[in-house]
Amino acid sequence: MKLKKYIIILNMVWAVLMPLHQAGAVVYPDRGILLNPLQTTRQTDDCGLFTMTGGWGEIDKKMAENTDDQHNWSVKLGAALELFRYRNSFSFTASSDIELVANDQSEMKFNPRSFFWQESFMGSFSGGPIYYQTGYVHRCKHDIDNIEVQDKTGEKRQAVFIYDSIFLRVITKEFRILNSVNFPFVSRFYIRDDYFVLRDDSRIYEYPADEKYSIENLINTVQAGVNIDIIRAKNFDIYTRLQYKISFFSENVNGDSAGYRNDYFAECGIRLKGEQGVMQFFLNYEYIDYTMINPFNEKTRVLYFGIRTGDRRMYN
C-alpha cells in the first residue's frame, strides 16, 4: 500500500514538471551528488578540527542527443574538507567542484568547450529526521577553444558567467518505503533554494541575444529531488535519482517577473560498495534549458552512460 501511494505521488509530480519547458537555467557542477558529512557518525570529542576529507569523480559519455552537438563528454570532479565538527550535530565544510564539457569535433574525438567551477562554504545541522544546510557558493563558467569557431566561421563568440549565491538545503534522513528485505526503497528527499547575490553575464555574439534571460537578471533557483535505493545488498545497490530545478529571472531592478527556465534529470544504475568508497555505473537522461556553452540560448536533451566514484562518508 505504501509503495502504491508513493508511485502515485511520483507520477503526479512528474506530470506537473514535465510540461514546464519554456525557454535557461544555470548549470551546477555538483547537481548529480549530495554533499552531506553529517550522514557519517563519528566518535569525536565535543569539538573536532579537520575531521574528514572526501572526493568524487565522474565521466559521462553521450549515448544519444537530439538538440545541440556539444555534450559528447562530461567530466566532473569534486573534493570536500570538513573544517570543524561539534559532536554529530554541526559541521562546517569547504568544497570545490568542476565540470568540463567536450564535443567530438577533433581528431581525438574529445574537444573541450566549457569549464564550470564552483567553491562553497557550508554549515550543516542535524535535527530530528532532517539535515539542514546553508552556505555561500561561488560559481563561474569559462570558454575553452572558442578560437576554433572564429577560425572556421569568422564569428567571434564569448560566454563567461559568474553566479554566486547564498543557499539553504533540507535533506531528509534515510527512511524505508517498504519493510521488504530485498526491495526496501530506501529514500532521501531534498529541496534547495539559492538566492543570487553576485551575477555577471559577459557575452560576445554578432546577433541579438535574449537579454530577458541574462544571468544578471537571475533571482533564485529552487531544486528538488529524491534518491532511492531500490535494492540494497551487502556489496551493491540498485538505485534511481530524480531531480528538477527551476530558475527565476527578473526583467529589471524592480523585480518584475520575466519568467523562469528549468532543468531536470532522471538516473538509474548500480552502486558497488567498498569500505569507504563506492563506484556507480548508470544511465542518465538530462534536460538543460540553457547549456551556457554558446552565447545564444541553447538547450539540450542528452542520454549519458556514466561512471562515478566517491567517498561514501561525505557524499551520496
Q: Is 18 inside a domain boundary?
A: yes
> How far apart, in whole angstroms, are the C-alpha atoms of residue 29 and residue 75?
10
Contact 160, 154 (CB under 8 A): no
Q: Is 156 inside a domain boundary?
A: yes
Q: Is 280 inside a domain boundary?
A: yes
In percent, how much of the chain has pLDDT > 90?
Answer: 59
Q: Is 316 inside a domain boundary?
A: no
The number of folded domains in the chain is 1
Residue-wise pLDDT tens digits, 112-152: 889 999 999 999 999 999 999 999 999 999 988 666 666 56
- Strand pairing partners for 193? 168, 222
Q: In the structure, what pLDDT confidence band is assigned to residue 108 with cuts at 50, 70 and 90?
A: confident
Provide the CATH number for the domain around residue 58.
2.40.128
Q: Is 84 inside a domain boundary?
A: yes
Q: Is 175 inside a domain boundary?
A: yes
Q: Within 13 Å of residue 34, how many CA atoms lie on the same side as its CB?
A: 27
Position 297 scores a pLDDT of: 78
Residue-wise pLDDT tens digits, 162-209: 999 999 999 999 999 998 888 999 999 999 999 999 999 988 877 656
Structural domain boundaries enclosing 218: 2-311
**In 104-217, beta strands by DSSP E:** 111-127, 130-143, 158-172, 175-176, 186-204
* Res 23 pLDDT > 60: no
Q: Is 154 inside a domain boundary?
A: yes
Q: Out of 17-31, 51-65, 132-146, 231-245, which region has the weakest mean confidence (pLDDT)? A: 17-31
Q: Is 120 inside a domain boundary?
A: yes
Q: Out of 31-35, 52-56, 105-109, 208-212, which region has the weakest mean confidence (pLDDT)? A: 208-212
